[in-house]
Amino acid sequence: MQISHDGKGAIVTGGSRGIGLAVARQLIRSGAQVLITGRKQAALEAAAAELGSACCWQVCHAADAAAAARCVDLAVARFGGVALLVNNAGTNPQWGPTVEVDAALAAKLSQVNQWAPLLWIQLTWQAFMREHGGSVVNITSIGGISPSPSTGYYNATKAALGFLTRQLAAELAPAVRVNAIAPGMIDTDMAAAIPAAQRDALLAGIPMGRFGSPDDIAATTSFLLSEYAGWITGQVLAVDGGALTSNGVPLP
């Protein structure tokens, strides 16, 4: 199976590192032109230098409506359209019991993890996809499928994104397919910061015997965006090495 995204314009939010960078790299390898967004200019410049001429970038907070609109306008002008959207940007500043979450933290989590993906879908729908079709992948989390001890409200926003995925798949079909990927523990900077003993406990709950890599998520994303997944929409696909099947604790 040779996936091709030739001639398609794409946007990857949170595309300067980790999963987002791996997704952008995979899409470019498959022929797409990609706009990556993020909050830090230096990280975006470094990512774009690696990705080459098929990539452009814009500093943008994912939930900033005016900045997001400028990004979509730029992508349409540069690529001729935006047929592919990956809502990867997210935040997780919560650590502790859900019953202790304050209003400011809850608002931030909801704004970035739940509202922002809808914002980007609205903008790309209005600018291109309504007339020309397209495909969307939202990056959620297996925390949105199974509870975990210390990130409950974050998980709730990711569960909401899973429902939003199904809702929009129903509303936007057949022009646009909307799916989601729920990663398990991925070996990124966040995972590296987990104490060794806790990492060992998490690893013991993964039947495949390893943490995932950003490339694992990128490959699945590319497939779901492609014509090979042309009859798949409204799905939330766990890519977790089997963690949910083993009753392991999916996240710290």
Q: Which pLDDT tens digit goes with each residue over 58-101?
A: 999 999 999 999 999 999 999 999 999 999 999 988 889 999 99
- Domain span at residue 20 reads 9-246
Task: Give per-residue pLDDT as tens, 163-215.
Answer: 999 999 999 999 999 999 999 999 987 677 677 888 888 888 899 999 999 99
Whether 198 is covered by a domain: the verdict is yes
Comparing C-alpha atoms, which of 159, 154, 120 is closest to residue 137?
120
Number of other CB atoms surrounding residue 108 within 10 Å: 15
Q: Which of 154, 157, 168, 225 is catalytic?
A: 154
Contact 219/186 with Cβ under 8 angstroms?
Answer: no
Reported as type and span, the H/E element at residue 11 is strand 9-12
Domain contains 252: no
Domain with residue 235: its CATH number is 3.40.50.720
Domain-located, residue 127: yes
Whether 154 sits among the annotated catalytic residues: the reply is yes
Domains: count for the chain: 1
Q: What is the mean pLDDT of residues 124-148?
A: 96
- Of 226, 227, 185, nearest to 205 (Cα)? 185
Cβ atoms of 152 and 98 within 8 Å: the answer is yes
Q: Quick one: pLDDT at residue 196?
A: 81
d(CA 215, CA 220): 9
* Two tokens, residue 117: 């993906």
Domain presence at residue 251 = no
- What is the pLDDT at residue 250? 53
Residue 241 falls inside a structural domain: yes
Q: Report angle CA 187, 190, 193 to the nearest 5 degrees.
A: 100
Asked if the structure places residue 118 within a domain, the reply is yes
- Is residue 142 one of the residues assigned to a domain? yes
In a domain, 1, yes or no: no
Token pair for 41? 């200019």
